[in-house]
A and B are shown apart, each in its own frame.
Chain A
């Protein structure tokens, strides 16, 4: 339906700031008509936390991801770097928890990572387009060589999904994977949905490593895909839906 009311308002807001042309921002969509058609592929994931819980304290997805991507193992709350990690329900879903929530949900951690949002605030605020949303499949990517390290994206991300290299990460990478770039100090990084593996027709490392088959990965634009079937058959939630970032990561609690 061309430009809808919401995108018009968004444009008006931006125009009031800058007097810009409409190009480039008209992707804004309403929650109901999320842009199912403007990309060929739209990768997404469903985390089935019921299956995850059965694997008591398993960290296979985290280990696989961090090993594949040379994520340094820095044991400091301030400087740690994480692409995927576990958070309590009340931390992952702070606006959706309540007093009488079931013990299993309350105590079992949820896996959290970059949501590869349809409306990514990090992409909007980046002053160099070092972080961008890939047109072909919607992955929110990082160009580690263009990032100037201003950390505006970290302020913009409502999910705490981004980490910064406060120091040279190299001494903290136990086993360097030569197939993936090692970062330098002073740049931001986060989950890239294994874009480098997808390019080779593989599935993301976390999905492959998951022992309980709790992570379903697929094309949300394909009505026949497994992920769409899982979404159709189960009640799912997303993190901070009120912000209208439209995450492509879903959870079954």
Chain B
């Protein structure tokens, strides 16, 4: 089936080569980072994780959100998702690939990465994180590819896929839970040391992921023969709405616990985020932007009149995505380190090489997504 990705319109090739160019720039910058070390990033001994691990965390959510189309379709036989389920699964494949690459580019000694397998350490959450990544990647590529292959031949998918599909549902929840445990299990980092972190991760994932899927579906509808159908758009929009409400609610719970209890080390992080500590105000603007976008998107999403209009829905999805990208892709990770364990504030700003490498990883993800979606559309077209 992959051969279907080798033929396409001018627009398709333009996209493919643009992505390859972005990947090229990112790869070149990565070689520079390999030579010089992680000194080319904005990280330091105080903020020792930054954009890379933040993006990894955010993208795990995008990957997990495939379950929001898989579950209604396969468990509840919700037919409107019949056409888009595979889009969700392939989005998960691309997102998980990006997660793995984000971890790889963050390693100080990437050539030794294999040590995680050579010296398995079940006490480390990172060990379980990698197992859950590998499992989820395999499940989604196998399921997606097999179901699509059956569709191509106009036969029902083989029976052995069904159990895999059922496994993939709790597995999706597990990947994001384990990623939250990566943080919430650290007693010395009070910002992350909260039981609501995993539920909050899931809520923001089920808002950001389906938002991205809606945006991708609009792009496909505009530029290709693929039309997901009104019901698919609207049901996904409702999923985004509920998930976003839950996410805002969970953030409120965090704020209440920290602010009402008045426990100093819990308040400090939120103070840094929303007001800054002393002269250190790097996060303030983007955090209020994130909050404003969250409110704005909820106004558009909760009101059925705006939610049902394409233009408003697109605007709402973009707002949700940016709001959560700031909250989870940047603030969540960085703020865990500010202030540092010695109550000192060292701020973090990503550097140009860091951004280029991150874009390169996104380029690889969207390249995989483009190729996989192209195959899906070509298979469907050949039936039309």
Contacts and interface: CB of A to CB of B under 8 A. Distances in A.
Interface in B142-190: 178, 181-183, 185-189
A20 B122 contact: yes
A126 interface: yes
B44 A146 contact: no
A78 B118 CA distance: 32
Contact of A18 (B46, B122, B188, B265): B122
Interface stretch (A41-49, A57-65, A160-168, A174-182): A160-168
Interface string A2-42: 00000000000010011010001100000000000000000
Contact of A156 (B39, B115, B186): B186
A218 interface: no
A78 B47 CA distance: 8
A212 interface: no
Contacts of B130: 127
B345 to A, nearest CB: 11
A234 interface: no
Looking at A112, A162, A185, which has the most chain B CB atoms within 10 Å of its CB?
A185
A130 interface: yes
B342 interface: yes
Nearest to A112: B342
Interface in B24-59: 36-39, 41-46, 48-49
A166 B38 contact: yes
Interface in A90-135: 90-92, 94-95, 112, 121, 124-130
Contact of B116 (A87, A148, A184, A187): A148
B341 to A, nearest CB: 4
A92 B340 CA distance: 11
A50 interface: no
A154 interface: yes
Contacts of B36: 167
A151 B48 contact: yes
Contacts of A185: 37-39, 108
A73 interface: no
Query: Could you say which of A87, A94, A147 has the most chain B C-beta atoms within 10 Å of its C-beta?
Result: A94
Which of A152, A162, A166, A184: most chain B Cβ within 10 A?
A: A166
A243 interface: yes
Contact of A151 (B42, B49, B118): B49
A79 B39 contact: yes
| Size range of the chain B interface in the assembly | 35 or more
Nearest to B112: A148
Contact of A155 (B38, B44, B48, B264): B48
B21 to A, nearest CB: 28
B215 interface: no
Nearest to B126: A127
Nearest to A123: B123
A17 B181 contact: yes
A155 B49 contact: yes
Determine which residue in B38, B43, B103, B118 has the highest number of CB atoms from chain A within 10 A of its CB, and name it: B38
Interface in B225-254: none
A95 B265 contact: yes
B37 A155 contact: no
B332 to A, nearest CB: 13
B100 interface: no
Nearest to B114: A148
Contact of B124 (A126, A240, A244): A126
B281 interface: no
Contact of B343 (A90, A112, A243): A90
B107 A186 contact: yes
A157 interface: yes
Contact of B106 (A128, A146, A150): A150
Contact of B43 (A14, A166, A245): A166
A156 B109 contact: no
Contacts of B107: 148-150, 186
A137 interface: no
A222 interface: no
Contacts of B344: 91
A187 B122 contact: no
B115 A154 contact: no
Given A158-B187, A166-B37, A185-B37, A91 B343 contact: yes
20 contacts: A77-B46, A112-B342, A125-B126, A127-B116, A127-B130, A128-B118, A147-B112, A148-B112, A150-B103, A155-B48, A155-B189, A157-B188, A158-B187, A159-B342, A160-B340, A164-B48, A185-B39, A186-B108, A186-B109, A245-B187
Given A130-B115, A150-B103, A166-B37, 15 more contacts: A24-B123, A78-B42, A91-B343, A94-B342, A112-B342, A125-B125, A125-B185, A127-B127, A128-B115, A148-B116, A150-B106, A151-B106, A155-B49, A158-B341, A186-B109
Interface of B: 36-39, 41-46, 48-49, 103, 106-110, 112-113, 115-116, 118-119, 121-128, 130, 178, 181-183, 185-189, 264-265, 336-337, 340-344, 346
